[in-house]
Amino acid sequence: MKPARSLVLSLVAALAATLGAAWVALPAFAAGPTASFVKTAEWGAGWEGKYTITNGGGSTINGWSLAFDLPAGTTLGSYWDALLSSSGQRHTFTNRSWNGSIAPGASVSFGFLASGSGSPSGCQLNGAACGGGTPPTTPPPTTPPPTTPPPTTPPPTTPPPTTPPPTTPPPTTPPPTTPPPTGGLPKHLLTGYWHNFDNPAVELRLRDVPADYDLVAVAFAEATATPGALTFGIDPGLAASLGGYTDADFTADVRTLHARGTRVILSVGGETGRVTVNDTASATAFADTAAALIARYGFDGIDIDLENGLNPTYMAQALRALRAKVGAGLIIAMAPQTIDMQSPAGGYFKLALDIKDILTVVNTQFYNSGAMLGCDQNAAYAQGTVNFIVALACIQLEAGLRPDQVGLGLPAGAGAAGGGIVAPSVVNAALDCLARGTNCGSFRPPRTYPGIRGAMTWSVNWDVSNGNGFARTVAPHLDTLP
């Protein structure tokens, strides 16, 4: 039997022969997936680009990869709604966990910022020519680009914005809002991660975490065979290294930290974390199992540290359901990678804004990042500098998060990260620049943020391994902030 597609094409050919050129001039039959590119904005030093991938075939696309070249002198900056790998001037974007499936006739988009005058070429979608043609570009605006990344197409399930990005300067003071309950935390706090595993850093019982830390994130809860569900227990390797350490010992240590005023939360994810919350059922499983672990061990809240993508819609549903079970004192923290907080349209940033009314703090990992654009969008700032930390924190502060919801995540010295390690004094300078407008580098934010929440470090174990320099320098400095 002739396949249905071949039959349709045969009919098209027969009709074309009968009806002549008027029929042939109609749009061609969609041959499969295509990708089209448009510059959605341009300014003197760069532009914003957007690719739209459309499934013109008859079966669902499960996963996509789009590659293109940029000419010498044109460089990529921040990007959203995709993952990126680059080799020279060849850049490959792949789907995130929530936008890899494209039904027949449906489309997904991703965007990025670039510096230089060039445009993409040599586009390939899943190894084949993109076939999207050369779309028009938007003429350069007469006013400078906005100081925060322009809104882009959000993940599926949220209608695209219809209002263009603002180009007027932000107000001189942040809008007043009422923060959620503090969960017993100070105005400015130091957060540190505690290892529930063996690695080259020193192993610690939870009770041996230095008292400098206000909030300790236990790394990590793990996935189960049930999507969204969490499990936690003391790692056998850690227990052996400590000469014996049980779940009962750990639970008693949580109470010990509570007695000295330190809060303890359970972190979900990490670099190899595979917890997925992509539908209502997995959101329910997440909330139910997280609530059970909080009750069992005495945790004060939850930390979202998923480095392999998340679905903001269903994770928001899960966190609201968890708060309904645990109560208004639940601490909700996040530790996104730097790239996850470049645009309000990105999954992590969207999640933070969607749960702003119940969110405690976002401690962005300002390391392992390379150079990135800040809120001025005029230069790529090198990681490991005051400029980098301040200019990227500024994106969050100017795009909707309250100062008390923004923390600065930095590694605790040698061994803790592959790049972006800074002296603790640099962290203090960044806090001063944001809170007071002092000790800034060449980049100065458009206003000060006295309520900036504080700092986070990966990790307590690495800090202890390196002589406790991070906590002993940053913790007392936080007490001096306004």
Give catalytic residue positions.
307
* CB of 112 closer than 8 Å to CB of 80: yes
In contact, 466 and 472? CB cutoff 8 Å: no
Q: Name the token pair of 382.
A: 């090198």
Give me the sign of the Cα torsion angle 19, 21, 22, 28: positive
Question: 43 burial class (0-12, 13-18, 19+ CB within 10 angstroms)?
Answer: middle
For the purposes of burial, counting CB atoms within 10 Å of the CB of 172, is it exposed (0-12), middle (13-18) or buried (19 or more)?
exposed
According to the 3-state scheme, what is the secondary structure of 75-104? EEEEEECCEEEEECCEEEEECCCCCCEECC
- Candidates 395, 365, 403; CA nearest to 378 is 395
| Separation of alpha carbons 406 and 401, rounded Å | 7
Helix (H, G, I), strand (E, B) or coil at 435: helix
Question: Residue 152 class from Cβ within 10 Å (0-12 exposed, 13-18 middle, 19+ buried)?
Answer: buried
Whether cis (ω within 30° of 0) applies to the bond prior to 86 is: no
Residue 342, Cβ density class (10 Å: 0-12 exposed, 13-18 middle, ≥19 buried): buried
- How far apart are alpha carbons 327 and 294 in whole angstroms? 11
Pairing state of beta strands 406-411 and 101-102?
unpaired
Rg (CA), the chain: 25
**Contact in structure between 333 and 303 (CB atoms under 8 Å):** yes
Q: What angle do CA 81, 38, 169 make, to 5 degrees?
A: 70
Contact 206, 257 (CB under 8 A): yes
